[in-house]
Amino acid sequence: MSKKKIIPSFDNEERERDFWVREDSVEYINWSKGKRVVFPRLKPSTKTISVRLPETLLEDLRYLANKLDVPYQSLLKVYLAERVEEELRIE
């Protein structure tokens, strides 16, 4: 087995992410020694954004969320995720 490269240190998560997009982890990590783990309470990282919506759309979304007894922002995320997934399947 060849000698593994040393993983550099990173200033932030974005630079580390960019690094791993370009590099093959097999050159840095011996995956045969890896162990499977489960993180049951791990939540995906989120980023706050600002989106301008027509007031009527927001009112309709709040109405539907109230009917379903969920926060309207959570319902919006579900609807958005479902549509993006659908669009990606079409490609």
Position 1 scores a pLDDT of: 56
Contact assessment for residue 5 and residue 28, using Cβ atoms and an 8 Å cutoff: yes
Q: What is the CA radius of gyration of the chain?
A: 21
pLDDT per residue as tens digits for the range 41-50: 888 888 899 9
Contact assessment for residue 19 and residue 7, using Cβ atoms and an 8 Å cutoff: no
pLDDT per residue as tens digits for the range 4-22: 999 999 999 999 999 999 9
Euclidean distance between the first and the last CA atom of the chain, given in angstroms as a whole number = 40
- Indicate the pTM of the whole model: 0.52
Token duo for residue 79: 């609807």
If you count them, how many residues does the chain have? Answer: 91
For the cut 80, the answer to whether the pLDDT of residue 91 exceeds it is no
